[in-house]
Structure 1
Amino acid sequence: MNHGISFLLNGKAWTAKDANGAKAVPISYKGTTYVPLRAVAEATGANIRYDAAKQQISITTGPVAETPGKGERTPFSVNNVSHFKWSYYPSGITRNKEDLQFGETQYETAFMVTGVNSAGQGVAFKVKDGTQKVGVLVGFKTSETDKDYTGTYTISDKDGQAFATGKIESGTVVENVLVLPDQTTELYVKFKGPAGKDSTGYVIWDESWLEN
C-alpha cells in the first residue's frame, strides 16, 4: 500500500473509503499504481488521472468534453479560440452588454478592437489545429450617431492572404464563412472606419463557429 499518494476530487483534497467506511489506500506494485474504487468512478462517468511526479490522483466528475466529429460545427468558446495582440490600439475580449447590443439583438461575448479609423486597426485570434472551416460574425460601431457611417473589414491569415472582405454599416453585423488552408490557425480581422472617428470592430462569438 502507498500511503504517500493523495486524492483530489474536483480540485479538493478527498479521502477514499471502502464499502465499510474505512480509508482505502492506493497500491503501488512494480511501477504500477492500483486505485481503489476505479470501477465505481468510471461507472459514474468520473475522469481519473494519475500524476507520478506529484504522487497525486485527480478525479473530475461531471460531463466530459467530447471531441467534435468531422464536419460538426462548434461555437466559439474559451476552449477553441484565443486572442493575441496584433493591433496598436487595445484589443481583447468584451462581455459588456452595451458594447454587444446590435439593434434588437443582445450578444454575450466578442473579440474587439478600439481606435478604428481610416488607417485601420485589427483583432487577431487563433483557432484549434485541424480546423477546416470557420464562421466569423463581425460587427462594427462608430462613436458618432449623427448620420449613417460605413466601415470595411478584411479577414486574412498571417501572410496576408485574404479570405473575406466587405463593407459594414455602423451598428450592424455581417456573417462570413471561411475555408481554411491546411495548418492555418491564426486569423487577422482588420477594420477601417471613417476618418477622424473613433470606431470599434468586433468578432462576435455567439454566432461564430469552427468546423473540423
Structure 2
Amino acid sequence: MKKKWMMGTMAAALMLTAGTGVYAGAKLQEVKAYLNGDIQLKYNGTPVQPRDEKGNAVLPLSYNGTTYLPVRAVADVMGVAVSYNPQTSTVEMGEKSEGVAIAKGFENMYYTKDPKATTYQGKDYKEAYFDNAGSKRSSSFMLFPKGKYQKLVLQVAAVGEDIDNFFIEDSGKKAKLKTDKLAVKDGLKTIEVDIAGVDELFIYADIKENGAMFVPLTTSYFK
C-alpha cells in the first residue's frame, strides 16, 4: 500500500548515507547549516527519534528558514522503503517502478534450472525453488531484501498435496507477515506482503508426503 505523508512546516531533505566518491561530479552547492536539537519529531502523535541505518540518533538541519530531515530516518519511522541509486542520482521511496526478481542471488539446495523442474502447467519459468523430496517435511528458504523494498510479490504453488501451513516471516523480528494455505486446485498463487524495513525473510511450509512446493523465481519479485 502506498503511503502519503506530511511533515507540517518541515521539508524532508534527501540526506542518505553514502560512501566516499558517491557524489563525485554531482552539482553540489556549499551552504552553512546548523544541527537543530530543539526540533522534535512526532508521527501519529507519538514522539520519535530519527536514526540512521546504524541506529545512531540524527538531528534535523536548519538552513535559511527551512528545517531539513534525513530522508532515511523519516522513511524508517513511517515504514517506507528507501534506497539511493548512485548511477542515476535518484532517491527511491516506497515501491520501485520495476520489480527485481528474487532469482538474483538466490541460494538453496532446491534451487534449480532443470526444465523438468522449472516447468509448471506447461510454462517453463527457467529458475525455480522446487522441493519435491517426497516425504513429510518442513520446507523453507531465505530472502534478503535488506530494507530496500516496499513489497514482496511471491508466486507459489502446492503440487500433489495441499499445503495447510505456509507463512512468510520477518526473520529479524520473528514476526509473521503472512500466513496462508495453498491448495493444489488453486494453481500458482500470488501473495503480496509489505516488507518495508525488513532485512531478512523466512519462507516456510509444511509439506505432506507425496507433496511438493513450487516457487518460480523469475516471476516472484521485490518492488
Counterpart of 2:195, as a letter, is: L
Confirm or deny that 1:169 pairs with 2:183.
yes
Structure 2: state its 5+ residue gaps. Answer: 1-86
TM-score, structure 1 length as denominator?
A: 0.51
Q: 2: CA distance between counterparts of 1:201 and 1:92?
A: 10
The total of aligned residue pairs comes to 132
Deviation at 1:76, TM superposition (A): 0.8
Q: 2: CA distance between counterparts of 1:169 and 1:199?
A: 11
In the alignment, which of 113, 122, 147 is matched to residue 95 of structure 1? 113
* Bigger Cα Rg: 1
Structure 1: state its 5+ residue gaps. Answer: 1-64, 86-90, 143-148
Deviation at 1:107, TM superposition (A): 1.4
Secondary structure (helix, strand or coil) at the match of 1:120 reads: strand
CA RMSD of aligned residues (A): 3.0
Q: 1: CA distance between counterparts of 2:102 and 2:143?
A: 12
Secondary structure (helix, strand or coil) at the match of 1:98 reads: helix
- The runs of at least 4 aligned residues of structure 1 exceeding 6 Å deviation read 65-68
Match of 2:194 in 1: 179
Cα gap change, 1:117 to 1:130, in 2 (>3 Å): same
Deviation at 1:119, TM superposition (A): 4.4
Deviation at 1:92, TM superposition (A): 3.9
Secondary structure (helix, strand or coil) at the match of 1:155 reads: strand
% identical aligned pairs: 12
Q: 1: CA distance between counterparts of 2:204 and 2:184?
A: 15
TM-score, structure 2 length as denominator?
A: 0.49
Cα gap change, 1:117 to 1:193, in 2 (>3 Å): farther
Counterpart of 1:169, as a letter, is: A
Match of 2:141 in 1: 123
Cα gap change, 1:179 to 1:77, in 2 (>3 Å): closer
Q: Are 1:92 and 1:113, in contact at CA under 8 Å, matched by a contact in 2?
A: yes
Structure 1 segment 33-72 matched on structure 2, within 5 A = 69-70=92-93, 71=95, 72=97
In the alignment, which of 154, 164, 167 is matched to residue 167 of structure 2? 154
